[in-house]
Amino acid sequence: MIVIFCICRLKNVFVELCAAFYKEEGRRIKARIEKRNFASVELSIRYCFKVRTSLSFNLVLLIILGAV
């Protein structure tokens, strides 16, 4: 019973840490995008897509490592 409680608590802490990390990461990326001066909308879209894709890969890696 205590072990199950500890595992659930650990999972909740992990979820909170992930949420805090990605919230801060989103703020950091938003600030970086606002500072950039893009010559065209296409460059802006490409940059945002690149950032989004890398974050998705990081999240998948974090989930895989967390499940181990």
| Confidence (pLDDT) at 68 | 42
| Confidence (pLDDT) at 53 | 81
> pLDDT tens, 12-46?
888 788 778 878 887 887 787 777 766 777 777 88
- Report the distance separating Cα 12 and Cα 8, nearest Å: 6
Residue with tokens 């890696």: 61
Q: Are 33 and 47 in contact (CB under 8 A)?
A: yes
Buried b (16+ CB within 10 A) or exposed e, 27-54: eebeeeeeeeeeeeeeeeeeeeeebeee
Domain ranges in the chain?
A: 2-67
| pTM of this structure | 0.49
